Amino acid sequence: MKANSLTPSLPLQFPSPVKLPPPTGIRFPSSLTPKAISISTPNTNRISINKNDDDSIAAFWDYQFLFISQRTETENPAVLRLVDGAIPPDFPSGTYYLTGPGMFSDDHGSTVHPLDGHGYLRAFAFEKDEVAFMAKYVKTEAKMEEHDPETDRWRFTHRGPFSVLKGGKKLGNTKVMKNVANTSVLRWGGRLLCLWEGGDPYEIRPEDLDTVGKFSAFDGGGDHDSPSRGGTYDGGFWRFAAELLKPVLYGVFKMPPKRLLSHYKVDAQRNRLLIMSCNAEDMLLPTSHFTFYEFDSNFKLLQKKDLVIDDHLMIHDWAFTHNHYILFANRIKLDVIGAMGAITGVSPMISALSVNTNKSTSPIYLIPRFGEDSNKDCKETIVEVPSRLWVLHVGNAFEIIHEEDGTLDFQIHASSCSYQWFNFKKLFGYNWQTGKLDPSVMNPNETKSKQFPHLVKVCISLSKNGKCEKCSVEPLSQWPKSSDFPIINPKFSGLKHNYLYAATSSGNRRSLPSFPFDMIVKLDAVSSTVRTWFAGNRRFVGEPVFVPKGDEEDDGYLLVVEYAVSIQRCYLIILDAQRFGEADGVVARFEVPKHLNFPLGFHGFWAANT
């Protein structure tokens, strides 16, 4: 395949032409230092390098191309061109949904953080020997306000939690909670939903990806003001502070009382959907209210459990076992100076928070899922991990009950990083002051590998009376490379499993040794063997998704999107999970039309046809 020019074709949108100094932390060879490069019209001549120079310039532009805006939506499904291989005869029919941000810059000079980009839903429908592709924006309230469909022009009016505005109102702009429905996608109970970390999901019509509207089945009901069950919260000062904050957060900043987490869990053994939420005011107070919901396949609420933890926590992902919920307590604290800038609008709302490094341990909460009286039996067990462990995403967790002595063992497989590496204000290398992305932030030169996102195995042993006898953390299968988005065969969720898959880095790029990812890894947690699939030079990958075929744990296929940024193409790859890493492990490769090339996605979901 011939490499095309790096000049993007419409409708891919780049920020307005600006002069770019060498980004902080990236070393540009003196002979190649750009004087006035326009990000709207870069070409191969401007970013090409010779063998004697490192790839820092190409790495910088590759990173920008991974987060380009895409304005085009499909009116009708587009059949993807088969580039290599073929769909296997035993490949299940169904649809792979992938959500993530699609719009990062408007037509008035403002850019937003990738986490604040409007949700762009992609669907790959498998039917016989074809794959049909659709992509549309989720028509959230914010999207309808910020986009003019007649002129196809955008004007950002919401800051978003991680952004500020340059071309719009800045000081005093209280439009913060911009529900962009861009984080995860779920098909359950006949409904297709796009979720975001902080508001109600949006329901999407599966046949054409048109937005139906907000879906409020997760509001949980009940009294949000009363202390939750299962904790030791006794009101006092922090309850008084919460009462003062609520009118501001709910009324001025339009935050919903309950902040829904975007990560859900599916208990395949019981055929249940598990969802979790917390109170909006918990972001600013040293007390955390969590609510767990369990729904059957018809979205009937089967049970609800509340829990209060007297600590200031940030929970993004979590885990469950057959009998427990598991929370990894990422500790945060209020940044008073940052909060003042956030309130006035001169800095992002997230500036009000920072990582709390005051303690050298990280707690894990083990919460019983069941009990005859949920008001009394939701008593958590707290286990202190002997290190600062910031958990990003969980692959799976399971428990083993030893009937002979009543002891209980837990094992959790997850991606984590160090507290030193994680920084609210620099996620994805986005600089809110310049509106630019700096890949060196995600690839610091002198950081030890254990500080990067990496895969870990957490083992916990409880005595008969619930006391922690042992807690250990070690690299999963001794895999040392930067990794994230761990997944397993969904049929084994909450159960003992052998295999885990994740996006990982080969480390081949000198300027991008850790992120973006360019490999998929298959780890055997029992034998500690490792197999990998490498996308190729200047090609990146997102989160893999497992498509079950038979009853064996690795009997199935992996779907992953390959982002070939150097030629501005996206490919859908089918990998055979059992032949992973072998020469014939790549089953098929489909090309997305160039005019529909899309930016990096976040989380996906496989929905088999019933």
Q: Which of 2-16, 461-475, 501-515, 558-572 has the lowest mean pLDDT?
A: 2-16
Where do the structural domains in the chain lie, given as residue ranges?
Answer: 12-608
Instruction: Say how many C-beta atoms besides its own lie within 10 A of residue 600's C-beta.
Output: 23
Check pLDDT > 60 for residue 602: yes
> What average pLDDT score do residues 306-317 get?
89
Cβ burial of 271 (10 Å; 0-12, 13-18, 19+) is exposed
pLDDT digits (tens, 9 = 90+) for 326-383: 999 899 888 888 888 887 778 888 888 889 988 888 999 999 999 754 444 457 899 9
pLDDT digits (tens, 9 = 90+) for 212-265: 999 986 654 333 333 333 333 445 555 555 565 665 566 556 677 778 899 999
Q: Which of 105-109, 166-170, 420-424, 531-535 has the lowest mean pLDDT?
A: 166-170
Strands 362-368 and 381-385, by their bridges, are antiparallel
Cα separation, 9 vs 538, in Å, equals 19
pLDDT digits (tens, 9 = 90+) for 111-135: 999 999 999 999 999 998 899 999 9
Q: Tell me the CA distances in angstroms from 68 to 14, 101, 175, one per residue in order.
A: 6, 10, 24
Task: Give the pLDDT of residue 159.
Answer: 84
Cis peptide, bond prior to residue 368, ω within 30 of zero: no
Q: Which residues of 13-37 are buried (b: 16+ CB within 10 A; e: fewer)?
A: bbbeeeebeebeebebeeebebeeb
Structure letter (DSSP) for residue 174: -
pLDDT band per the 50, 70, 90 thresholds, residue 503? very high
Total number of residues shown for the chain: 610
Q: Among residues of the chain, what percentage have pLDDT more than 70?
A: 82
> What average pLDDT score do residues 158-176 get?
77
Check pLDDT > 50 for residue 160: yes
pLDDT digits (tens, 9 = 90+) for 77-91: 999 999 999 999 999
pLDDT digits (tens, 9 = 90+) for 283-300: 777 888 899 999 999 999
Structure-block tokens of residue 583? 């020469």
